[in-house]
Chains A and B, each alone.
Chain A
Amino acid sequence: MKKWMVLCLILVSAMGMMVSSQAGNTQMKTTMARGKLVYDRYCLTCHQADGGGVPRMNPPITNTEYVLGNKQRLIGIVLNGLNIPLEINGEEYENPMASHAFLKDGQIADVLTYIRNSFGNKASAVTVAEVKSARAKNK
């Protein structure tokens, strides 16, 4: 009897995990799709369709610590823009990036999750809570 119940529990929890993982995948797909829309509208021209940037002008967002590393710094770049000499993978880029603080928290989370998981990048998602907290600290 007990053995049967344990088996049942295992089965149920395994099914639950499968369902939640499927739900996670679907959620990630939706986030990525929303992130792409934001990217195409506000980021693509400078950073280009493949995230490779423009030599001397606009930095690449592929394979760089600025995108794959500290999320608070990355959110900060979107909120405040960037116009200081910065060496990215051995090169400097001269065009300023304007503040994109006008984007909603959800849009910033979506687009940063999108760039951290596109163009060959692979890194954890950026959550709305992380953007909200970064924006609060930024003020």
Chain B
Amino acid sequence: MRFKLFLLSTIVFAGSAAAQLPGVSIRVPSGFAVANVAKDFGRVRHIAINTNGDVYMKLEKLNQGKGIYRLRDTNKDGVMDDTLAFGNYIGTGIALKHGYLYASSNSEVFRYKLDAQQDILHPDQPETIVTGLVDKRQHASKSIALDNAGNIYVNIGAPSNACQEQDRKQGSMGMNPCPILETAGGIWQFRADRLNQTYKEGVRYATGLRNCVGLDWNNEVNELFITVHGRDMLHQFYPEIYNQKRGAELPSETMYMVKKGDDCGWPYVHWDHFQNKKILNPEYGGDGKKTGAEKALSPLVGFPGHMAPNALLFYTGNQFPEKYRNGAFIAFHGSWNRAPENQEGFYVVFIPMKDGKPTGKWEVFADGFSGVEKVTNLSAVKHRPCGLAQGPDGSIYVSDDNKGYVWKINYNQ
């Protein structure tokens, strides 16, 4: 009875899982339809959908003391009618693989065993898989992805903008070599089934990555793909090299395929999608033209600056038209560092891909989340896309960490 009461209060106060009309109108291509499946859960970061349609949401701010919410449609009428809340930690990463739910705090990764009914066996006693990761508040989100060989990949964002001696201080030079790269600024690989792993048991899988909030395993080519947040403040710190417009557009936000041992060049260089070059950062002597980090990878795609690619999802379903198969969806959280120019992003884009390579230009797939025509101040923004997941029926889900909404996008023809 107590538990039932708790569930009831959860539904009333923590958010609602009814398919009510959202406050904003989400625009999608012709033939697609959008339904709201959750609202008002707060800071909903990444999401995962189980084979039975359960929606798991990882929260970055506790809601009723809980950091993970599971929504379930028990009678299969299309309405989420059951809510389970657990996990007393905040975080971003959440994923399902081989009978386990994985979730991350800002310094650890946990897993929960699921039974045959897809219920969590011990919601309050997760196993700790990884512990002791760097959490210095800035870029502390630990996004996760799993491969098919029993490994889990964890983003450890650099707690820094450009590895300056004094972070974000105008005129402060970059440290060379950047000491942050020893424990952050990369993707670390751990075993998915081994308990209490620390840096010692992990492998620095890829480095030179400022902060990869989006990562997904691409099953078509069996490799890890990531989306990276580029550095801030090129115009604000170096107006003589980057004028207001240039500083809003640069550096590119990027998508890479990374293999073990790869280096993507942060903090020494940034990608410039106008010149298609790795440009030396001014903190390391760059002038907007000089290139650097010659051995570092070049990205597969360079997007306009600061839009914050927070989630990456390879589409493997059959529901959407053929062009979407094996392509990538990216949720752009939306920028702030473009000010005083208008902000950009706040949408989900699609990139057609084959064999792990883009086959066309990226396009906006779902838009309208911000609820305003032009974003001049972040305070006016209603929703910010943050997480993506694919349902068992081939529909995709988008989460919002501003107000805690989740939408489901179907193809109806």
Give A residues with C-beta under 8 Å from B. Answer: 40, 44-46, 48-50, 52-58, 60, 81, 83, 85, 91, 94-99, 102
Q: B61: shortest Cβ distance to chain A, in Å?
A: 8
Contact A54 B376 (CB under 8 A): no
Tell me if B318 is interfacial: C-beta within 8 Å of chain A: no
Residues of B within 8 A of A40 (CB): 340
- Interface residues of chain B, those whose CB is within 8 Å of chain A, are 43, 60-61, 137-140, 166-170, 172, 233, 236, 336-337, 339-340, 376-380, 384, 401-402
CB contacts (< 8 Å) of B376 on chain A: these are 49
Q: Is the interface of B mostly helix, strand, loop or mixed?
A: loop
Q: Provide the residues of chain A in CB contact with B169, threshold 8 Å.
A: 81, 98-99
A81 contact set on B, CB distance < 8 A:
169
A102 to B170, CA, bound (A): 10
In the complex, the answer to whether B43 meets A58 with C-beta atoms within 8 Å is: no
Q: A53-B379, A55-B378, A98-B170 are in contact. Are A48 and B137 (CB under 8 A)?
A: no
**Cα separation A129 to B235 with both chains bound (whole Å):** 32
Given contacts A56-B60, A60-B379, A94-B137, contact A49 B339 (CB under 8 A): yes
Q: How far is the CB of A103 from chain B (nearest CB, A)?
A: 11
Can you list 18 residue pairs at the A/B interface with Cβ under 8 Å? Answer: A44-B340, A45-B339, A45-B340, A48-B377, A48-B379, A52-B380, A53-B378, A54-B378, A55-B378, A56-B43, A56-B401, A57-B336, A60-B379, A83-B137, A94-B137, A94-B138, A94-B140, A99-B166
Write out the residue numbers on chain A whose beta carbons fall within 8 Å of the beta carbon of B379.
48, 50, 52-53, 60
Q: Which 5 A-B pairs have the closest CB atoms?
A: A52-B379, A98-B169, A54-B336, A94-B137, A50-B377
Known contacts A54-B336, A85-B137, A94-B137: does B377 contact A49 (CB below 8 Å)? yes
Residues of A within 8 A of B377 (CB): 48-50, 52
- Docked-complex contact B167 and A48, CB < 8 angstroms: no
Q: Is the CB of A98 within 8 A of B402?
A: no
A84 to chain B, nearest CB (A): 9
